[in-house]
Structure 1
Amino acid sequence: MEKALNRLIFFSVLTLALGCEQAGKKDQPSMDEKGIEPELSVAEMKEDLLEKGYEIFDYVDPQTADTVIMQQYFIAFLKKGPNRSQNKKETDSLQTLHLEHLGKMYELGFADISGPFGDDGDIRGITIYNTPTLEMADSLANLDPMVKSGRLVIEMHPWWAAKGFPLR
């Protein structure tokens, strides 16, 4: 019964997310003839983020005189959980489901990057969630099958980064 309820909640959240994603696409600029989306102006980007409920602030870079928009993201630290007694077959299955979950979060635009740490410490990896609220990021992170099984637990923190700046 609990499993069915969890599935219902998961698919309800996914359905809502997909609906929001499709609704948001109506407001996005159309692609040019080469299939490239035109960049939003700083004012358009600010307006879009604020309408969607994101926390932002901006500043002027003293070297370039460009306006930089800072957006609040949420970092989920995936830590070793209390239930690590699964056998290899169960662990492998959970890992597959975990990767599918993270892939879906990325595909839906809720997670920007995920990855494991290279040591065998208590913090196993991170995911950076791109959601308007901590509650939404935490809810999505806790839908992860590894978390639901108790193999991992989530520690969530708000984090600010410049909007649109790539990793290098």
Structure 2
Amino acid sequence: MKKLVLLLIVLVFACKNETKIIEKPIEAVKAKAKPTTKFILETLKSKGFKTFDYVDTKTKDTVIMQQYFIAFLKSGPIRNQNEEESTLLQEQHLAHLGKMYDLGYADISGPFGDDGDIRGITIYNVPTLKMADSLANSDPMVKSGRLQIEVHPWWAAKGFSLR
């Protein structure tokens, strides 16, 4: 009888240990699970973003479209800074854009390759035009008058990347 009781105790502890071993990988998989479309849409909506979604007929995946804001950086009325001032403004401009990216307010920025009036773009990942305009106008190049800003709402698929 003692042997039977001892065997039952060993089996109970063995089963508990197996359960723990199995639970940990399951928890790890759950922790790394991709957020659901519903969760993403609700999160964006709670932060004030405009969105819509549709089902891609080819892949059958749900695609979330989000409104971003694209800022066109255009030549400003004051472009007579000397070389030293221009260099300092460029450094401050790049630091500003880097800060916008680091804070999650801007997703991508870059200059155009020609020498036209539109010098570059920044895509702001913020919920309102007012916020995008405020962030774009806080750029030292814009404050100095060397650049001016024109901001437009722009829709893109959430999570898609450049190729």
Same fold (TM over 0.5): yes
Q: Residue 120 of structure 2: which of 125, 144, 147 is its match?
A: 125
How many angstroms apart in 2 are the aligned matches of 1:135 and 1:41?
29
Residues 81-106 of structure 1, C-alpha deviations (whole Å, 9 max, x = no match) = 00001000000000000000000000
Aligned counterpart, 2:62: 67
Residues 30-75 of structure 1, C-alpha deviations (whole Å, 9 max, x = no match) = xx97xx9642111110010000000000011111111110000000
The equivalences for 1:1-168 within 5 A come to 38-168=33-163
Aligned counterpart, 2:20: none
Q: Secondary structure at the match of 1:62?
A: coil
Higher helix residue share: 2
What residue ranges of structure 1 are gaps of 5+ in the alignment?
A: 1-31
Q: Which amino acid aligns with 2:119?
A: R
How many angstroms apart in 1 are the aligned matches of 2:78 and 2:35?
46
Q: Which amino acid aligns with 2:83?
A: K
Structure of larger gyration radius:
2
Residues 98-148 of structure 1, C-alpha deviations (whole Å, 9 max, x = no match) = 000000000000000000000110000000000000000000000000000
Say if 1:135 and 1:87 are closer, same or farther in 2 by CA, change over 3 A: same
Say if 1:38 and 1:84 are closer, same or farther in 2 by CA, change over 3 A: farther
Q: Secondary structure at the match of 1:114?
A: strand
Q: Which amino acid aligns with 1:69?
A: I
Q: Which amino acid aligns with 2:125?
A: N
Q: Secondary structure at the match of 1:153?
A: strand
Q: Which amino acid aligns with 2:123?
A: I
Aligned length: 136
Q: Secondary structure at the match of 1:103?
A: helix
Q: Which amino acid aligns with 1:156?
A: V
Q: Where in structure 1 do 4 or more consecutive aligned residues deviate above 6 Å? A: none
What residue ranges of structure 2 are gaps of 5+ in the alignment?
A: 1-26
Q: How does the TM-score come out when normalised to structure 2? A: 0.80
Residues 4-39 of structure 1, C-alpha deviations (whole Å, 9 max, x = no match) = xxxxxxxxxxxxxxxxxxxxxxxxxxxx97xx9642
How many angstroms apart in 2 are the aligned matches of 1:141 and 1:37?
35
